Amino acid sequence: MNATNASSYSLYNKYVGVGFYFSLLWMYTPHFVIGLIGMVLNASLVYVTWKCRTTLRGLFNLLIAVESFASLCWEFTYVFPWFIALSGTNLVSAELCFWLQFVPNLGVSVQTMTMLFVALERLCGIIFPIWTKIDRNVKRYKIVLNLISFTYGLVNNFIVYIGILNEFQHKLVLCFLGDNRSTFSKLYSFRVNVSMEVCTVCFYCLIWVQMARGAIKKVKITSTSNMHILKSLTVIIVFVMFGWTLNGLSTFYVPLFKLSPEDTISFGAGLVLLTQVASASNAPVLYVFSAEYRRCFQKAFPWLAKQQSAVSNVVFVGTSSSNLTRRGGQHGQTVADQQQQQQQQQQRTLPIVNQRHVFVADRKNALAGERQRMARELRGEYMPLHGPILDEFTEDAHGLGVGRRSFIEKRVELGGRVGPGKLEQYGTEKRGGDRLNQLSILVEKNGENWANVQVLPNILPNCRCQVRKGNVTGNGDRWRTKSRQKSTKRRKAQTKQRNDH
């Protein structure tokens, strides 16, 4: 903490040898609590990335996980000072403080460098989209970028340690992160970190300039999913820049206030709270803005998925067992009857989350004109359906009968065509590469009948979906709907009966 460095030595006589000092412990307590919360949030994001490693396998996802792990390490900054104050020691030597703060100091350096790499990766994805998609050296980039970040952190720690040996090896400090830094190490860290933060902000500004140019020319620069991630990253970088900028510049503007040494420490501690909140914001921001991360969080922590009722995911529009084109409500009904019928249907709504789901194609019963409209409106768009549907698809499809290999690999996005094995995208590729014009959701639920539902009408307009009980099997590029399953079972039964006779 730069604001408290100049005041630590003037408080030597106040804190040394006096034992337990409640005001010092009280000043550390908010940082200690927020640090614990930040560690939990950042650890959850790292765990979610590992849990959904088949989905979150891109370079960006790994960089975010590394940045969260570095933030987790940095949140330990006030754990050690809190226990030091609790023990009544209050002050420790600068060299001991360096080793206590070695991991947090390394974490903050890796965090700064990784945020720069995240911005650079997003910018390359906007400027060179084709090269980003076809490049196969992702693993090499992951190793090189992480090695650079780690090396930068070690160099920073080495410079701090050399400064301690040269200036104040045996002096006592309060052991903040930066409280044991020499003048040279502070200037070096300030200049380098500010330069990287400025570059990060410039990269994001260039990204939004490219997005604005695309909007003016009516050219879609990126997909909806990437747009949500970009918004979440922008929010995160605003938090980080605001907190770290105020804290980094405190060396210049805090002396202008002419505060007492104790007030200077309290003011600097308040500034560090902003950086702690910013470092803990990754997981909440990504959960709110990114549907992809939201699904992964719900998969890793099912209690998050239980909070979402089926009413927020699906809206019943009919109760027919086979006709997908039937509309909810009949002509001639009063408004009161329709409202009563809608309430009854909502009570029967299946909870989409925490069930077994799978997407199957149903082209035969598609609504007239729906295919053209969806192809026009949704071409090249990702379909961020809520709930852990996509993630559970990968696990559950292995036990759903014949053709499960093709059942997994024939996943493509609505309105577009991509290669096989793209499990993070939505829809099912039909024979000949036709665009999917209807979805069907399979929900395992005892005692439930067939029902027509509409999935997220604001995201997937005019798409009829089907909720049913049972299993579905795939064979090659063709899919067995309910009628085909019945006919297959009938033929098998007839064949068995003939063989028995």
Q: What is the pLDDT of residue 463?
A: 33
pLDDT tens-digit map of 469-479: 333 333 333 33
Q: With 50 as the cut, is the pLDDT of residue 71 above it? A: yes
Point out which residues pair with 172 in neighbouring strands.
93
What is d(CA 167, CA 25) in angstroms, rounded to the nearest whole number? 28
**Three-state DSSP state, 440:** strand
Claim: this prediction has a pTM higher than 0.95: no
**Three-state DSSP state, 371:** helix
Which of 305-314, 387-396, 461-470 is modeled with the greatest confidence? 305-314
| Same domain? 153 vs 174 | yes
Burial of 246 (0-12, 13-18, 19+ CB in 10 A): middle
| Same domain? 230 vs 335 | no
| Same domain? 105 vs 158 | yes
Alpha helix stretches (DSSP H) within 9-137: 12-15, 22-51, 59-74, 79-87, 94-100, 102-127, 129-134
More confident residue, 128 or 426: 128
| Same domain? 62 vs 88 | yes
What is d(CA 73, CA 499) in angstroms, rounded to the nearest whole number? 69
**Residue type at 200 in one-letter notation:** T
Q: For residues 82 and 32, is the Cβ–Cβ distance under 8 A?
A: yes
Q: For residues 156 and 105, is the Cβ–Cβ distance under 8 A?
A: yes
Q: With 70 as the cut, is the pLDDT of residue 459 above it? A: no
Q: What is the pLDDT of residue 251?
A: 67
More confident residue, 451 or 270: 270
Q: What is the pLDDT of residue 66?
A: 92
Q: For residues 232 and 67, is the Cβ–Cβ distance under 8 A?
A: no
Q: With 90 as the cut, is the pLDDT of residue 69 above it? A: yes
pLDDT tens-digit map of 233-290: 777 777 777 767 677 666 677 777 777 766 777 777 777 788 888 888 888 888 888 8
Name the one residue in this structure whose structure tokens are 């979906």: 465
Is residue 500 domain-resident?
no
Structural domain ending residue among the three candidates 300, 333, 364: 300
Question: How would residue 358 be classed by pLDDT, with cut points 50, 70 and 90?
Answer: very low
Is residue 450 domain-resident?
yes
How does DSSP classify residue 461?
Answer: T
Q: What range does the domain containing 15 cover?
A: 2-300
pLDDT tens-digit map of 305-326: 776 543 343 333 333 333 333 3
The closest of 280, 61, 81, 294 to 173, measured between CA atoms, is 81
> Terminus-to-terminus CA distance in the chain, angstroms?
88
pLDDT tens-digit map of 90-136: 888 888 888 888 998 899 889 889 988 988 888 887 777 666 555 55
Structural domain ending residue among the three candidates 261, 277, 300: 300
Question: How would residue 357 be classed by pLDDT, with cut points 50, 70 and 90?
Answer: very low
More confident residue, 484 or 176: 176
| Same domain? 397 vs 270 | no
Question: How would residue 337 be classed by pLDDT, with cut points 50, 70 and 90?
Answer: low
Query: What CATH code is carried by the domain that includes residue 81?
Result: 1.20.1070.10
Structural domain ending residue among the three candidates 300, 332, 349: 300
What is d(CA 385, CA 383) in angstroms, rounded to the nearest whole number? 6
pLDDT tens-digit map of 403-419: 222 222 223 223 333 22
| Same domain? 339 vs 390 | yes
Is residue 349 domain-resident?
yes
| Same domain? 134 vs 190 | yes
| Same domain? 287 vs 380 | no
What is the SS3 string spanning 206-258? HHHHHHHHHHHCCCCCCCHHHHHHHHHHHHHHHHHHHHHHHHHCHHHHHHHHC
Point out which residues pair with 318 in neighbouring strands.
452
- CA-based angle 192:197:199, to the nearest 5? 95
Is residue 501 domain-resident?
no
| Same domain? 329 vs 433 | yes
Q: What is the pLDDT of residue 259?
A: 74
Is residue 215 domain-resident?
yes
Q: What is the pLDDT of residue 501?
A: 66
More confident residue, 501 or 165: 165
Q: Report the domain count for the chain.
A: 2
Q: Which of 4-8, 53-57, 77-81, 295-299 has the lowest mean pLDDT?
A: 4-8
What is d(CA 295, CA 284) in angstroms, rounded to the nearest whole number? 13
Report helix, strand and coil shares of the chain as percent, to nearest 5: 65, 5, 30
What is d(CA 439, CA 391) in angstroms, rounded to the nearest whole number? 17
Q: What is the pLDDT of residue 41?
A: 93
| Same domain? 243 vs 338 | no
| Same domain? 282 vs 319 | no
Which of 45-49, 213-217, 468-472 is modeled with the greatest confidence? 45-49
What is d(CA 125, CA 226) in angstroms, rounded to the nearest whole number? 10
Q: What is the pLDDT of residue 294?
A: 87
Is residue 497 domain-resident?
no
How does DSSP classify residue 359?
Answer: E
| Same domain? 317 vs 289 | no
More confident residue, 450 or 267: 267
More confident residue, 448 or 117: 117
Is residue 359 domain-resident?
yes
DSSP string of 68-86? HHHHHHHGGGGHHHHHHHH
**Residue type at 54 in one-letter notation:** T
Q: With 50 as the cut, is the pLDDT of residue 152 above it? A: yes
Q: What is the pLDDT of residue 405?
A: 27
